[in-house]
Structure 1
Amino acid sequence: MKKLFVPFFMLLGISITISSCSDSDDAQYVPITPNASYPEVEAAFGSKLDLNNLSNYANQYIPPYIRKRNGNANPVTDKGATLGRVLFYDKNLSSNNTISCSSCHQQANAFSDTNIASTGVNGMTGRHSMRLINARFAVESKFFWDERAGSLEIQTTMPIKDHGEMGFSGANGDLSFNDLITKLQGIGYYKELFKFVYGTEVITENRIQLALAQFVRSIQSFDSKYDSGRIFVPNDGQPFPNFTAQENNGKNLFLAPPVFDATGNRTGGGLGCAGCHAAPEFDIDPNSRNNGIIGTIAGSGIDITVTRAPSLRDLVKRDGTLNGGFMHTANINSLQAAIGHYGTINLAPGNTNLDPRLRPNGFGQQLHLTATEVNATIAFLRTLSGTNVYTDSKWSSPF
């Protein structure tokens, strides 16, 4: 780590710390050349990608009550996220040129997939494709449902190197990731884009990871009904002035912890959802364990390693339309069913990783939900959905 001291901030007694890494020529360090010509980029993308007039990724509005962040060592930049956008949508990143990151993470569906499993070059994904909304605004810095990637940067190239997904595994007869780099080096627009971002045409896995992670972290959703109300109150516990009585009731149920008797039956309080999905980010608590869903997409065996979840923002579109099934199995197809799952937790044989918050006093929780409570909670969850993230061109395909 090294510290850079800026005279103005020195007067205030503040120092700024900037992370360094092996590819420290990150996007922010390469100045933009005004009115430069990029013929390969212009030929490939036309008006959809203008390197002289970049979209705003780095300085988007973030509400003041949003405090959680991950990925500070790789801050979002306009240039880096622009390259990341191209990589995210480019089918050249798959071995047979048929699959891109966007094939499984579709903007129209909150960057998820309405299919239970997504199609790869050599089969189907083993788990449902996780929504990518507000991935940056979370304490948890590990990725994939089972947290096997230590950072978003590491995660971004793992599907590319997976035999079933994008096919550059270097095993099972696949080409290797180095072969992908050679392939990209032969594409004219990547020569221009990597030089535009990093100062040279050199393509490395690290540079690909930095750009893809910046693009994914730029995907944010803060134009929901929840946000329109939260900005006017000091904390989430206060009634929101723009909410209906039902929505405020649902919010209270979501936030308040339940009261249980000695055998795990709820006798009062709320539903305790915020114990794992704390407002206002609604991200997953990094200490969470299995949520009681132990099935697999294949339908055989059990999977108790899933301990991560995406933000609860944009579970559904604002009109209530699903962005895909819920959970890693995508086998829950409504908000009512999702709430119902937590209403009755069964202690399944073999699930040695069930979260303690779901087994009060050693028993699977029984919330004894009423129809009024379920409907209020659904009404509240729907307030967490925005609209812009589904249509904003800076997150759309440049091809």
Structure 2
Amino acid sequence: MKLTKILQFCVLIVTLSSCNDTNEETYTEITATYPAVEAEFGSSVDLKNLANYANQTIPAYITKDNSGLNAISDKGATLGRVLFYDTKMSANNTISCSSCHKQEVAFGDNVVASTGVNGTTGRHSMRLINTRFATESKFFWDERAASLEIQTTMPIKDHGEMGFSGTGGDLSFNDLIIKLSAVDYYKELFKFVYGSEEITETKIQFALAQFIRSIQSFDSKYDIGRASAPNDGVNFANFTAQENQGKNLFLTPPAFNASGVRTGGGIGCAGCHRAPEFDIDPNSRNNGIIGTISGVGIDITNTRAPSLRDLVKVDGTLNGQIMHTGVITSLQAAIGHYGTITIAPGNTNLDPRLTPGGFGQQLNLNATEVNAVIAFLRTLSGTDVYTNTKWSNPFN
């Protein structure tokens, strides 16, 4: 059984690799028609003129990439886009991945708990910006998914979220496959991408992961400055003095006395949120927020975080609440949290970088420093990701 699964996986990898080859289209591909796709999506999904997902411009200073064996293809990401926005992916045809990950708020949510088919999510929905460009390959706040591919179908199989759990009277994931297999545009799309109308969980996972990894944001003020700078540590020519001060504070580790009080240096955000990707260090542990959305008990297992890019829009508007509980509602409050770390009873997983000398860190930031860090964080926001049609709802 194990060998069979490995062979199936290898065949799928070969199939996906062939989808990346845009130079050798077959006569059939060129002349094929896709009436169901055309009828459902019109010009928003044009299989003969695919959007560019596979060969987007990536800055030279961006070096992290967790795509692994699932390289992005234009075909695969196109299918992934349809799956991402399709409410047929839920048991009652009301919820899609995009219900909790909205393009207008950097593919996160602007409510604390996202609504599913049978209630609400237990944690705030994480933004999906630049998921590809991170060392950490695990997903969810508590890292319970070993890869993005595995993560993509877990909400679908969750009773509360999309309802194909196969338990407690729910339909199973196989029922979803049967459901999708009867949809004409999926027959065409899966054959277009994989050469066969057959739908499997692995194919769904690979396509969704390709689309999600394609969602990238590198058109920020920070990127303009970094492109002409030798490294992050120097002042950026396009930054204001305040933004450069905030960047220096963000990047520079703090100096503490024996009681955990900052006596100099910066505030060391980059120790966990590493420039230039601003991804989370895989060795990070709990950040001191151990509450739950329900208000019952504590939750100390959250060690992952999304990229800090596009925390806010360029105008400073927050892209939804921050942290797994959504308890933080401004950049000032986020900085304030790290400014005074309390070692709460029961938190046995607190990151040691937040407890110098065994004490919760006291950064003693003044208003000028706080405003400078906020100004810098705002430089990490672009504009394209909010409006680019290749990441938009194809059903509209």
Query: Same-fold call, TM > 0.5?
Result: yes
Percent identical pairs in the alignment equals 75
Question: Where has structure 1 moved over 4 Å in runs of 4 or more?
Answer: none
Higher helix share: 2
1:253 to 233, 245, 249: 249
- Distance in 2, Cα, partners of 1:254 & 1:316: 17
**CA displacement at 1:201 relative to structure 2:** 0.3
Aligned ranges for residues 1-399 of structure 1 at < 5 Å?
A: 21-30=10-19, 31=25, 33-399=29-395
TM-score (norm 2): 0.95
> What's the CA shift for 1:197?
0.1
- 8 Å CA contact retained: 1:35, 1:52: no
Q: What code does the residue aligned with 2:379 have?
A: T
CA distance in 1, matches of 2:329, 2:236: 28
CA distance in 2 between partners of 1:390 and 1:66 (Å): 21
- Paired residues, number: 381
Q: What code does the residue aligned with 2:15 have?
A: D
3-state SS in 2 of match to 1:84:
helix
Deviation at 1:300, TM superposition (A): 1.1
How far did residue 24 of structure 1 move? 2.7
Q: 1:152 Cα shift?
A: 0.2
Distance 1:143 1:116, change over 3 A: same
For structure 2, the 5+ residue unaligned runs are 1-8, 20-24
Matches of 1:73 and 1:172, distance apart in 2: 35
SS class of match (1:259): strand
Shift of 1:34: 1.7
1:172 CA displacement: 1.1
Aligned partner letter, 1:83 = L
CA distance in 2 between partners of 1:293 and 1:222 (Å): 29
Superposition deviation, residue 35 in structure 1: 4.2
5+ residue gaps, structure 1: 1-19
The alpha-carbon deviation at position 25 of structure 1 amounts to 4.6
User: How far apart in 2 are the matches of 1:148 and 1:378?
Assistant: 31
Contact 1:26 1:80 in 2 (8 A): no
Q: 1:291 touches 1:358 (CA, 8 Å); kept in 2? A: yes
Aligned-residue Cα RMSD (Å) equals 1.1
Letter in 2 for 1:24: I
Aligned residue for 2:3? none
Q: Distance in 1 between matches of 2:210 and 2:51?
A: 13
Q: List per-residue Cα deviations over 1:187-229 (Å, max 9, x = no partner).
A: 0000000000000000000000000000000000000000000
Measure, in 2, the Cα distance between the counterparts of 1:172 and 1:369: 51
SS at match of 1:340: helix
